[in-house]
Amino acid sequence: AGIVERTFYVKSLTVSRLCKKQVITAVNGSLPGPTIHVQEGDTLIVHVFNESPYDLTIHWHGVFQKLSNWADGPSQITQCPIRPGYKYTYKFTIVEQEGTLWWHAHVSYLRSTVYGALIIRPRHRHSYPFPKPYREVPIILGEWWKANVVDVERLAAATGAAPKLSDAFTINGRPGDLYPCSKHKMYKLTVVQGKTYLLRIINAAVNNQLFYKIANHMMTVVAIDANYVEPYVTDVVVTGPGQTVDVLLTADQPVGSYYMAARPYASATLSGNPVQFDNTTTRGVIVYDGCPTPATPLMPALPAFYDTPMANKFYTDLRGLVGSPFWNPVPLNVDYEMFVTIGLALEACPANNGCKAPKLSASMNNESFVKPTSVSLLQAFYYNINGVYTTDFPPKPPIEFDYTNDAINKLPIQFAPKSTKVTKLRFNTTVEIIFQNTNILGPENHPMHLHGFNFHVLAQGFGNYNPATDRQKLNLFNPQIRNTIGVPVGGWAVIRFVANNPGVWILHCHLDMHLAVGLATAFLVENGPTPETTLPPPPADLPQC
């Protein structure tokens, strides 16, 4: 195991997209930012110089951060932001996980341009549980605004309205030739006929799940969220923001050129009608070596935007690869069970208080999460600072009713109070969470992400979770292991994890517009009994609020 050291200079960068010059915040002058390669067991040190005009943090999405919670990165949760002109060094060791992860800003909407791949290779070379690919290629799907993204988020927060929709999706930072002024800068991958490529697909979009397809080619999924799965052959990949999918792609077609394309899987509805979303399509091109130019590439037929059966099939068909590197069996004894509703609603809007239009709000178990401001949650936990949070996050919603029928659901838990309620866990507690989507404002597939841990996805389904029948569906043998689960639209999912890492770990919807309005909570995991299970003190350069 070695040390990998990098420096991130984060600053304004002027780029042209969609016929418009735009000032964005970027790392080391590139979009996407630099790809980081490590081997399992390596220590990664990243010096982050914030030369941008905004507060900044960097999160290492999916990295366990064993005993290094101070380097996790969510703003106000494990650190106060790095102020403009300051720096912070993230230092952590990456153990017992390998595959495709990524890093991104974890404050405001900045991750729409501050992101990149984090690739963890096996400690011993060539030890993938699948044939060694000829080449490995990151495919990072992103989302683009023809506006300053920090302003987009601020405006939404101020008005309480849904934020401005994005103007494009991107593949490795490029929108592709279906957008104006984007033809010449399309992402292009050259392949050799007969060779097999490992595409490391990352959904770095801010607010959209995506379908991804390649014309005339099948893909074999071999890993998700840096966890190996049983090889799964498919013509379409579906990803929620935060998730990664590794596929093997064999260039087994006639020499020619083929589009790859991505566009949203749109699950949200409001009173039965689809909610507005950016309905554009990004594409790149795969060109076979020796292909006579110019050829018109073949275009894949993408699923319909609302194709929930297609998305659900992909999400539920995948199985963990029992016995693969770092495979963990399902913990069978649950110490703490939670039933957690997740969903959107509106804030109460009393006219006699001068309220004109209700603001968007989101909650878990009827609590809408507010981040602390004076210190980070982790500082408050570590130093026993009173008054920052309370440990009474409810393990159940306040009332039982029909969560997915919108006619009935308007009243009982519509207006969630704002709070900073968390769950305190003893070291090594096995937690089961049953997520239940609600239909108070409208149902939607919410990609729920837990920091610091992988979890087993034991079952998922549509409608109201029913223990009498749904317990029998739990897969305790070879479930998928993930760090982000798209809870089916108007449905539920059961996950399990062992809280074996002391610190503060946020659980939140990875649609940034929902995180911003409170779709979050956190787990405070106590130290274990030994020095090896005790969180060390913060690094000296930890930013203060």
Residue 183 to residues 17, 19, 141, 178, Cα–Cα distance (Å):
11, 11, 17, 7
Question: Which listed range, 186-194, 231-239, 474-482, 506-514, lies at the site for ligand C2O (CB under 6 A)?
Answer: 506-514
Q: In the 8-state DSSP scheme, what is residue 174?
A: B
Residue 267 identity (one-letter amino acid): S
Smallest distance, ligand C2O to C-beta of residue 365, A: 19
Smallest distance, ligand C2O to C-beta of residue 113, A: 15
Smallest distance, ligand C2O to C-beta of residue 472, A: 33
Distance CA 103, CA 118 (A): 6
Per rule CB under 6 A, is residue 449 in the interface with ligand C2O?
yes
Q: Which of 518, 517, 162, 160 is nearest to 357 (CA)?
A: 160
Of residues 105 and 440, the one with the C-beta less far from ligand C2O: 105
Residue in 33, 74, 116, 133 binding ligand C2O, rule: CB under 6 A: 74
Of residues 283 and 451, the one with the C-beta less far from ligand C2O: 451
Smallest distance, ligand C2O to C-beta of residue 43, A: 21
State yes or no: cis peptide before 479, omega within 30 of 0.
no
Q: What's phi and psi for 155, nearest 5 deg? A: -65, -45
Smallest distance, ligand C2O to C-beta of residue 449, A: 5
Per rule CB under 6 A, is residue 61 in the interface with ligand C2O?
yes
Q: In the 8-state DSSP scheme, what is residue 393?
A: -
Residue in 27, 55, 65, 106 binding ligand C2O, rule: CB under 6 A: 106
Per rule CB under 6 A, is residue 446 in the interface with ligand C2O?
no
Residue in the structure block whose two tokens are 């309905």: 279
Of residues 256 and 452, the one with the C-beta less far from ligand C2O: 452
**Pairs from 470-473 (Cβ < 8 Å, separation ≥ 24):** 470/494
Residue at shortest CB range from ligand C2O:
61
Smallest distance, ligand C2O to C-beta of residue 57, A: 10
Residue 477 to residues 368, 421, 433, 437, 505, Cα–Cα distance (Å):
35, 34, 18, 25, 27
Of residues 59 and 174, the one with the C-beta less far from ligand C2O: 59
Smallest distance, ligand C2O to C-beta of residue 104, A: 6
Q: In the 8-state DSSP scheme, what is residue 78?
A: T
Of residues 213 and 514, the one with the C-beta less far from ligand C2O: 514
Of residues 63 and 186, the one with the C-beta less far from ligand C2O: 63
Distance CA 83, CA 333 (A): 44
State yes or no: cis peptide before 294, omega within 30 of 0.
yes
Q: Which of 284, 313, 342, 287 is nearest to 495 (CA)?
A: 342
The size of the interface with ligand C2O (CB under 6 A), counted in residues, is 11
Per rule CB under 6 A, is residue 371 in the interface with ligand C2O?
no
Residue 38 to residues 118, 187, 189, 413, Cα–Cα distance (Å):
8, 25, 23, 46
Q: In the 8-state DSSP scheme, what is residue 181?
A: T
Of residues 10 and 506, the one with the C-beta less far from ligand C2O: 506
Of residues 27 and 260, the one with the C-beta less far from ligand C2O: 27
Smallest distance, ligand C2O to C-beta of residue 79, A: 13
234 within 8 A of 214, measured Cβ to Cβ? no
58 within 8 A of 75, measured Cβ to Cβ? no
Residue 108 has a CB neighbour count (10 Å cut-off) of 22
Of residues 200 and 451, the one with the C-beta less far from ligand C2O: 451
Question: Which listed range, 253-261, 323-331, 468-476, 505-513, lies at the site for ligand C2O (CB under 6 A)?
Answer: 505-513
Distance CA 369, CA 353 (A): 23
Taking CB under 6 A as the rule, which mask of x and - marks residues 190-229 in contact with ligand C2O? ----------------------------------------
Residue 348 to residues 269, 359, 407, 411, 520, Cα–Cα distance (Å):
21, 8, 19, 11, 19
Smallest distance, ligand C2O to C-beta of residue 59, A: 5
Task: Supply 88's token pair.
Answer: 């912070």
191 within 8 A of 201, measured Cβ to Cβ? no
Smallest distance, ligand C2O to C-beta of residue 520, A: 9
Residue 126 has a CB neighbour count (10 Å cut-off) of 8
Smallest distance, ligand C2O to C-beta of residue 103, A: 9
Task: Supply 211's token pair.
Answer: 């379908």
- Residues 225-254 binding ligand C2O (CB under 6 A) are 242
Residue in 263, 421, 451, 496 binding ligand C2O, rule: CB under 6 A: 451
286 within 8 A of 191, measured Cβ to Cβ? yes
Question: Which listed range, 27-35, 217-225, 390-398, 503-511, lies at the site for ligand C2O (CB under 6 A)?
Answer: 503-511
Per rule CB under 6 A, is residue 59 in the interface with ligand C2O?
yes
Q: What's phi and psi for 526, nearest 5 deg? A: -75, 160
Smallest distance, ligand C2O to C-beta of residue 392, A: 23
Per rule CB under 6 A, is residue 17 in the interface with ligand C2O?
no
Of residues 59 and 456, the one with the C-beta less far from ligand C2O: 59
Question: Which listed range, 205-213, 290-298, 349-357, 504-512, lies at the site for ligand C2O (CB under 6 A)?
Answer: 504-512
Of residues 32 and 74, the one with the C-beta less far from ligand C2O: 74
Smallest distance, ligand C2O to C-beta of residue 62, A: 8
Beta-sheet strands, E only, within 306-382: 336-346, 360-364, 368-369
Smallest distance, ligand C2O to C-beta of residue 63, A: 10
Residue in 66, 104, 263, 283 binding ligand C2O, rule: CB under 6 A: 104
Residue 482 identity (one-letter amino acid): R
What is the SS3 string spanning 444-502? CCEEEEECCCCEEEEEEEECCCCHHHHHHHCCCCCCEEECEEEECCCEEEEEEEEECCC
Task: Supply 337's token pair.
Answer: 């069970």
Of residues 104 and 213, the one with the C-beta less far from ligand C2O: 104
Give the footprint of ligand C2O on this chain (CB under 6 A). 59, 61, 74, 104, 106, 242, 449, 451, 506, 508, 510
